[in-house]
Homo-oligomer: A and B are copies of this chain.
Amino acid sequence: MINLRIPGPTPIPEQVLEASSRQMINHRGPEFKEILLRTTKQLQELFVTTNDLLILTASGTGAMEAAVVNTLSPGDRVLVISIGVFGERLAQLPRTYGADVQVLSVEYGKAVDPEEVRKALQADPAIKTVLITHNETSTGVTNDLESVAKIVKGEFDKLLIVDAVSSIGSIACPVDEWKLDVVASGSQKGWMSPPGLAFVSMSPTAWRASEKATMPRFYFDLAAAKKYLERGQNPWTPAISVFYALDAALPMMLEEGLQNIFDRHARLARMARDGAKELGLTLFADEAVASNTVTSVNAPEGVDVAQLLNLLRTEYDVVLAGGQGSMQGSLFRFGHLGYCSEEDIEQCLDALKSALPRVGYTFAHAKA
């Protein structure tokens, strides 16, 4: 059994895999309608929102594109808070569609200081919309979204679009309580399902913005998705087998309970960080803001990350992720979101302990 510990796709529970192999049904028939309405309702419960929630056949990036093109117009001034590779993607997206993008860029490994967000908004009243990554998968950092939202919504009343792809469902992100207008995630993250579906919640404010938004949209038209949802359908043919999976996974999450899920993720993340430090490794992310879904570890001097990951994969059945973008080669990442237990983390740490010396690492600095 492979221990897949990347920040998505994540392992799927046996009963969810089994559910996903059911025979096809009519996507415009009564059975699919039930599944769509049920999963939508359960996702709303797990997003802690009464906002509309749309399920798209796409990746999380597709959901973020939907978030952007449904609420913005070319020329709109937007502030993108970027703390890593996904933050950079978040800036590229509205730029592609002609928005006037200002980037508040934060050093990799750090979270944004909410005070910097306040300053940026004070300095530029033309900003209409703020985009932020809640949990930055590339660096393993979680932004203090609650504080940022208080400023963006409470003090400045701007539209707030959140890439919560690798946080919501695993890390607290109560959409209504924090007044988040548009929030996106993907089925292969904390949702214990295969990739293929993405979720977007839209607040009434976001819908009002969408009425004026002129960026072109067709496949990702959320108003069409909402119209079809009202009759229990998707506008286009959806990834039915991923719906089957989701329909089996979401009740498992509701049974565990959101707070228990958050606590488990916090516990697993602590295990991963402490375990890495005990091996003498250093963490890439500022530990005060380290993510509960993914841990980034600096490559020890003299250790080739690609060689380490390859050894772990081929001889220890452990799959970790490398660094992205300019971080390639300098760190590796350890995903612990969704279907993950203490045993999984222990197995990873044991594998690391055994594999590291084989790629030139010495335990001289290890605390253990």
| A residues adjacent to B (C-beta < 8 A) | 1-2, 4, 6, 8-12, 17-18, 20-29, 57-62, 65, 92-93, 96-98, 186, 188, 194-196, 215-220, 235-242, 245, 313, 319, 321
Contact = CB atoms under 8 A, between A and B. Distances in A.
Contact of A237 (B9, B219, B220, B321): B9
A194 B243 CA distance: 11
Contacts of A196: 57, 196, 238-242
Contacts of A10: 24
Nearest to A239: B196
B241 A20 contact: yes
Contact of A24 (B21, B61, B188, B238): B188
Contacts of A236: 58-62
A97 B216 contact: yes
A3 to B, nearest CB: 11
A93 B218 contact: yes
A124 B302 CA distance: 66
Given A9-B237, A24-B9, A219 B319 contact: no
B6 A237 contact: no
A195 B98 contact: no
10 contacts: A9-B237, A12-B24, A17-B21, A24-B188, A57-B58, A58-B58, A65-B218, A196-B238, A239-B239, A242-B242
B29 A238 contact: no
A47 to B, nearest CB: 20
A344 to B, nearest CB: 13
Contacts of A65: 218-219
Contacts of A17: 21-23
A217 B10 CA distance: 28
B238 A59 contact: yes
A102 B176 CA distance: 45
A58 B186 CA distance: 14
A86 B21 CA distance: 29
A219 B24 contact: no
A20 B21 contact: yes
A23 B11 contact: yes
A346 B1 CA distance: 44
Among A17, A188, A194, find the residue whose CB has the most chain B CB atoms closer than 10 A: A194
